[in-house]
Amino acid sequence: MSRFFIKVFVPGPFFEPLTYSTDAPISSGIRVTVPLGSREVIGLCAGKANGPEALDTIKSVISVIDDEPIISTQHQALVDFASDYYLAPPGDLLLSSLPTTLRKGQPIPKAKTETGHNNSPAYQLTKDQRDAIEAVDQTANQFQCFLLQGVTGSGKTQVFSELIDRTIKRGQQILLLVPEIGLTGQMMSRIQDQLDGELCVSHSGIADGARTKAFIASARGVADILIGTRSALFTPMPNLGLILVDEEHDGAYKNQEGCRYSARDLAIVRAKQMAIPIVLSSATPSLETWQQAELGKYTRLRLSARPGQQPQPSIRLIDARYDRPRDGLSEAARRVIRHALDHEQQALVFLNRRGYSPILMCTDCGWIPGCKHCDAKPTLHRQPDSLWCHHCDHRQRPVSICPECSGRNLLAVGHGTERLEETLAESFPDVPIIRVDRDTTARRRAFEKLIQPVIDGQPCILVGTQMLAKGHDFQKLSTVVVTDADQGLSGADFRSVEHFAQLLTQVAGRAGRHGATGQVLIQTHRPDSAWFDKILKQDYDHLAKAVLLERQQFNWPPESHLALITARATSSTPVFEALEAVANQIRALNSPVRVLGPAPAPMERRNRQYHGQLLILGKRSLIQWVLKETGPWAYKRQGKVMFQLDVDPWDLW
Ligand code: ADP
Ligand code: ZN
Ligand code: ZN
């Protein structure tokens, strides 16, 4: 019997595929079961291997799972790039990019899609919209990166719909990425309504089986369009003709577990590899993208106004030092909410903090409970009653007697969404209060169910976190109250101001998209901050220029590039010793990159471990070189110290 040799990608710290033997040839992209150490694992065939020298150490493939490949060479090329750029093992990346059922070796299911309704929009496109569509359409089958920069409510989604239609007519597929699960449903119904083709959806909120069917529908070319969150980027699409990235500035595109890739950045790579256009859209582009557009490397398409006569919302600051919030809400805020309800409109109350109250305090002695695993204060929750650390998930019963002074006067200080919900229910008993945060939307489809009355236009007040800030188009929502804007201004990260401005602009942009002019109220103790001045002008370019100038002065991105090396262990000394050794190793390379640190992480003790950091700043190519010289980084540990590499970190946490 003749023996064949194949290369197989397996999970784990392997930067090359491993060689196995088989009785018959196997094509690349086919799943196989192979022995690895004492385990059996699912791997992916990566093609023929040369006959190895030491034949007796080569193990045989245990079983072949598929008749046909489930991934293509195109797909492999994207994974190869990501593996090289993020210094992550390709097998890990490939296998984690598969839907769970396929990763576990289950058979390939039938493809499943939903059919579009092929309705025409009820309105004429604006000139801006037509120009944007033409510009992208002309670049069919060639790489070009567009920034669709349109103010909130300017009709970016309609531009997407039209581009999707044209791409399908050319016989090509479209990949549409959205940042949050909550947005896929709405985006899907809007697109599906006008679509003349087959659609499928992929995100972590749908059942594994359905996700696999969407994967197969895309990979077999049955689906014309795939709408999904970041992991959908790694879906093979043989006829891909266009990539759309909605709300491109959103942090949800950055994977924060395992390989820390940016789905937006990889989407651009994918478009380049396939020679197709890509459109990044946002009212508040990331500074990285915004700068590329300024430099002319990306083509900027503008939608400068809302369609028709619909104005941008009016934004006002409420000085919380004078109009003191009662239970979280100022008099002015109560008035605008009442006004909206009286006019059959809806209001949104925004607070980016879940739970009941951020701090529980003994008013006799000042004692505040801490988390036993972190340098953090646990948040008080009432549903159910607990002190819950949002950093390590540790929960404890809320105390009713102070352990320091035995006093019984424990006070919930400050507001979270749960408490604000309570305030609103007391003040506005005549309408439903709909709270949207991670706690109320944890269950599958919970988000869709919660916001259905909002979509239906019923009178109500929405209260919630940043989940409500993005993308949504609620017809009856006229009023937005931001209850604690000081929170955003006090962030320590170099991107804090950018993120704060984006969040405020986005949440304000939910107001008055149809009919009544939007009213936005921002409660703050620091109304004279220069940033408010810029945000209130509602001129994002002006704001971006100012932020960019600041970044240039300090040589932060996009002026330079970053890589963040984090080390953690149960005590702090080995962490710092290990990072110091890495820093010396990098400095010995004599490359012009800057190495900052080692320094403690912003929250040094987190989840029972001490965290330290090393930051590398410089040119992208030099950082890549330095990292490769000092790697491998994936799975790196040194004694008790675990390392973690983040190339182009989103935050320095
Ligand atoms: P964006 O994504 O830019 O925030 P949307 O695409 O959600 O904006 O559009 C805002 C609203 O305006 C939607 O309800 C949409 O149906 C409507 N719309 C879009 N284009 C037009 C147009 N040309 N004329 C009238 N209404 C439009
Ligand atoms: Zn006390
Ligand atoms: Zn904790």
Q: 204-213 pLDDT, tens per residue?
A: 888 999 999 9
168's tokens? 């399908």
Q: pLDDT band for position 344 (50/70/90)?
A: very high
Is the pLDDT at 591 greater than 70? The verdict is: yes
**Model pLDDT, residue 487:** 77
Residue in the block written with tokens 């540790």: 394
Is the pLDDT at 132 greater than 60? The verdict is: yes
Q: Rounded to the nearest whole angstrom, what is the distance from the C-alpha of residue 486 to the centroid of ligand 1? A: 31
Q: Which of 123, 131, 158, 281 to mutate to test the pocket of ligand 1 (most atoms within 8 A of CB)?
A: 158
| Residues 37 and 10: beta-carbon distance below 8 Å | no
Distance (Å, whole) CA 641 – CA 623: 23
Per-residue CA distances from 139 to 129, 149, 171, 246 (Å)? 16, 18, 15, 19
Is the pLDDT at 587 greater than 80? The verdict is: yes
Angle at which helices 181-194 and 156-169 pack, to 10 degrees? 60
Domains 114-307 and 310-355+415-552 share a fold: yes
Is the pLDDT at 306 greater than 60? The verdict is: yes
- In this prediction, residues 386-398 reach a mean pLDDT of 94
Print burial letters for 239-270: b (CB count within 10 Å at least 16), e (below 16): ebbbbbbbbbbbebbbbeeebbbbbbbbbbbb
Q: What percent of the chain has pLDDT over 70?
A: 100
**Model pLDDT, residue 390:** 94
Strand pairing partners for 359? 413
Q: Rounded to the nearest whole angstrom, what is the distance from the C-alpha of residue 415 to the centroid of ligand 2? A: 21
Please report, as a single letter, which amino acid is at residue 149: Q
CA 449 centroid distance within chain: 22
Ligand nearest to the CA of 301: 1
Q: Where are the domains of the chain?
A: 4-103, 114-307, 310-355+415-552, 561-647
| Residues 473 and 153: beta-carbon distance below 8 Å | yes
Q: Which of 473, 477, 507, 538 to mutate to test the pocket of ligand 1 (most atoms within 8 A of CB)?
A: 473
Is the pLDDT at 47 greater than 80? The verdict is: yes
Strand 477-482 to strand 346-350: parallel, antiparallel, or no bridges (unpaired)?
Answer: parallel
Domain 114-307: CATH superfamily is P-loop containing nucleotide triphosphate hydrolases (3.40.50.300)
Q: pLDDT band for position 1 (50/70/90)?
A: low
Q: Which of 131, 151, 152, 157 to mutate to test the pocket of ligand 1 (most atoms within 8 A of CB)?
A: 157
Q: pLDDT band for position 160 (50/70/90)?
A: very high
CATH class of the domain defined by 561-647: alpha beta
What is the CB neighbour count within 10 angstroms for residue 594?
Answer: 13
Is the pLDDT at 608 greater than 60? The verdict is: yes
Reduce the secondary structure of 418-437 to three states and give it as a string: HHHHHHHHHHCCCCCEEEEC
Verify whether ligand 1 is closer than 6 Å to residue 150 (CB atom): yes
Tell me the Cα Rg of the chain. Answer: 26
Domain 4-103: give its CATH code.
3.40.1440.60
Which pTM value belongs to this model? 0.95
Is the pLDDT at 489 greater than 80? The verdict is: no
Find, among 116, 521, 122, 167, the residue nearest to 318 by Cα. 521
> In 3-state terms, the chain is what percent helix, strand and coil (to 5)?
30, 25, 45
Q: What's the pLDDT tens digit per position in 55-76? A: 778 999 999 999 999 999 889 9
Ligand nearest to the CA of 154: 1
- In this prediction, residues 622-634 reach a mean pLDDT of 95
**Model pLDDT, residue 217:** 97
Q: Who has greater pLDDT, 433 or 185?
A: 433
Q: pLDDT band for position 531 (50/70/90)?
A: confident
**Model pLDDT, residue 284:** 95
Count of positions (residues) in the chain: 653
Is the pLDDT at 185 greater than 90? The verdict is: no
- In this prediction, residues 482-497 reach a mean pLDDT of 83
Q: pLDDT band for position 621 (50/70/90)?
A: very high
409's tokens? 């006067």
Distance (Å, whole) CA 425 – CA 419: 10
Q: pLDDT band for position 380 (50/70/90)?
A: very high
First to last CA, the chain: 57
Q: What's the pLDDT tens digit per position in 437-488? A: 999 998 878 888 999 999 999 999 999 998 888 878 899 999 999 998 887 7
Q: What's the pLDDT tens digit per position in 107-121? A: 999 999 999 999 999
Distance (Å, whole) CA 353 – CA 486: 12
Domain 310-355+415-552: CATH superfamily is P-loop containing nucleotide triphosphate hydrolases (3.40.50.300)
Average pLDDT, the chain: 93
Q: Rounded to the nearest whole angstrom, what is the distance from the C-alpha of residue 553 to the centroid of ligand 2? A: 47
**Model pLDDT, residue 453:** 95
Going by CA atoms, what residue is nearest to atom 9 of ligand 1? 155
Max CA-CA distance within the chain?
Answer: 88
Residue in the block written with tokens 């059922």: 101
95's tokens? 């296998």
Strand pairing partners for 605? 610
Q: pLDDT band for position 2 (50/70/90)?
A: low
Residue in the block written with tokens 């220029």: 545
Please report, as a single letter, which amino acid is at residue 330: S
Q: Rounded to the nearest whole angstrom, what is the distance from the C-alpha of residue 134 to the centroid of ligand 2? A: 67
